[in-house]
Structure 1
Amino acid sequence: MVGEIVHVDNSTHLGPVPSGEWCQVDGAWKETECRAGLGWYNFDPESGSTLVGASNLRRRLSPLQTELETLIWAMQSMLVHNKQRMNFQTDCAQLVKMVSEPAEWPAFEILLEEMEKCRKMFQAFSITHIPRKKNTKADRLTQSARDQPHDVYNINSVPPASFPEPI
C-alpha cells in the first residue's frame, strides 16, 4: 500500500510522516547475480546537504533480506553521522510491514533484533512506503554497486557519477 507509514518512538504505530530529513533505501537482488547491491540517499531540506551510501555484498537468500540489510546499514550510517530524527523511505511494502510487525517474520529474527537496537537510538524514527518512481536515487546507487565485479563500499556527501571501471 503506497503511503503506509510506521512511526516509532518506543512503540510501533501508524502516524504522520515527520517533516524534515529523510533517507531513501533500496536493495538490488537478482537470482542470476552473485552480488546484491545496497544503496541509500539521505537529504536534509534544512541545510540542502546530501549523504549517500552504496555497497555490494554476496547475494543473500532473498530480495527482502537484502532490503532489510540495507535499512539496517542506512540506520547505522545515520546514527554515526549524528542524524537522530529520520524518516526512512522504501519502495518495498513488505519491509514496512516487517518493521511494524516484526513478530510476524520469525525467519528474519536476528536481523530484526539488530534493526530494533538501531531504532531505539533514534529520537524520532519512521519508515514510509513510497512509489518505486520516487526512489530512483537510491535505486541507481544500488544497481551501480551490484553491477560492480569488485567489492564496493562508499559513503560520501556527493553522489558518485558512476563507479570506476575495473582495470
Structure 2
Amino acid sequence: MADHRPELVDDALRTLGVDHTELREAHKRWQSRVHSRTFPRGEMRYLTSLGRPEYEVRRQVGDLACRALLWPVPLWPTLRFEILVAPGGAVWNEWLVRQPGDPGPRLDSPGQLPPWGCTVEEVLRAFPSAVPMVGDAPTRARVGLTDPGGGQGFVAHFTWGLFQYVAPHPS
C-alpha cells in the first residue's frame, strides 16, 4: 500500500506505535515464514498465523461453493481480512472486506472515493457501470466504472481489496 499511499502508511504506523524499521523486520519475518518449505499451505497457513477466524460463512461464487473465513483488522475496526477457501482447503482469494452487517460508506462519484475507505465489493455495488478488471499484481484489483454524472470512464485501483486511487480510463 506504500506504493500508492505512503502518507497513509506513515499515519497507520504511528497509530500502531511502530516505525518503518519494525515494519520492514515484520515483513522480513513473514516472508521468511511463507517461503519456508515447512510452513503450512492453503487454509492452514492462515489458521496458524491468525488463529481462529471471527466469522466463517458459506459463499457461492458462480458454480463454486466455498467458505469465507474472516478475521478482525486492528487498524480498520469495520473491515475484516477474508480468505475464500475452496473444497479441499485451497485458498483462492484473500483481501479486505467490510465486516458483516456494516453498510460501509456512501459512494456517489468515482472522484469522491475515500482512500483506504472502501472495498472492491462496495464499489461494484455502488456503481451500476462497474466492471471487474484484471489486477496488475497478485494483491491488486482494478474496477472499471463510469461517472454517473458525466459519463467519463475511470479505473479504481485497490490493494488487498482496499481502495487506493482512481485514474481516468485509458481509452
TM-score, normalised relative to structure 2: 0.24
Q: Bigger radius of gyration, 1 or 2?
A: 2
Structure with higher RCO (Cα < 8 A, 6+ apart): 1
TM-score, normalised relative to structure 1: 0.24
